[in-house]
Structure formats: structure tokens, C-alpha cells
């Protein structure tokens, strides 16, 4: 197992990264004592699940207790009437 100091890690990151490609792990030391261990992370190329609106609607109904929330529609209607999106009202106005 290779070791590298905290200072070398900060000042020579490209070399440390190249060393990490060759080695399985690197021990980081400060004043000759180990303080951390760097290991390689392998990216998994998992495919992201596509958004399913029907499934989301089911979750939303379950999370809201089957009650319909209409206040969003009221805010959108007010924005449309004012001719802007997201800025027609000052919600913090006193």
C-alpha cells in the first residue's frame, strides 16, 4: 500500500490521482501518522429510471392522503393574468 502526505496530496493532486489509478488504495499521512485512506471509486453505468407520471400520481395521492391541493393552480392563474411566470406576487410583502 502506498502512502502520501497531506501536503503532497494538496500540492501534487494529479500525481496522487495517477498513483491511485495504479494502486488499490493510498494512505494519507500527517506527521508520519495515518489520517485517511483514499480508495478508487468505480462508476457504475446504471441506467436511470424514466419518469412514470402514473406511478408518480399514485405516490402523490398516497402522500397527500388523497386530498386535492389546488393552491398551486391559483398561483399559476395569478401569474398568467399578470403576464409573468413566477414573479407576479411578492409573497413576503407586508
Query: How far is the C-alpha of 38 from the C-alpha of 77, rounded, in Å?
Result: 53
State phi, psi for 80 to the nearest 5 degrees: -65, -40
Note whether residue 87 is domain-resident.
no
Number of separate domains in the chain: 2
* Residue 21, domain extent: 2-39
What integer pLDDT is reported at residue 32 of this predicted model?
A: 92
Note whether residue 93 is domain-resident.
no
- DSSP tally for the chain: helices H, then strands E: 4, 3
Note whether residue 17 is domain-resident.
yes
Per residue of the chain (94 residues), give pLDDT as tens. Answer: 789 999 999 999 999 999 988 988 999 999 999 999 999 887 777 787 888 888 888 888 888 777 766 667 777 778 788 876 555 455 544 4
Note whether residue 32 is domain-resident.
yes
Q: What b-and-e string marks burial along 23-50, b requiring 16 or more CB atoms within 10 Å of the CB? A: eeebebbeeeeeeeebeeeeeeeeeeee
This prediction has a pTM of 0.45
Note whether residue 60 is domain-resident.
yes
What integer pLDDT is reported at residue 24 of this predicted model?
A: 86
Amino acid at each position: 500500500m502506498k502512502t502520501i502526505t497531506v501536503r503532497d496530496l494538496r500540492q501534487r493532486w494529479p500525481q496522487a490521482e495517477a498513483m491511485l489509478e495504479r494502486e488499490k488504495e493510498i494512505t494519507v499521512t500527517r506527521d508520519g501518522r495515518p489520517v485517511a485512506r483514499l480508495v478508487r471509486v468505480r462508476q457504475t453505468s446504471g441506467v436511470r429510471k424514466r419518469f412514470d407520471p402514473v406511478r408518480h400520481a399514485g405516490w402523490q395521492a398516497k402522500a397527500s392522503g388523497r386530498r386535492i391541493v389546488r393552491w398551486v393552480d391559483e398561483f399559476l392563474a395569478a401569474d398568467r393574468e399578470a403576464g409573468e411566470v413566477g414573479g407576479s406576487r411578492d409573497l413576503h410583502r407586508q
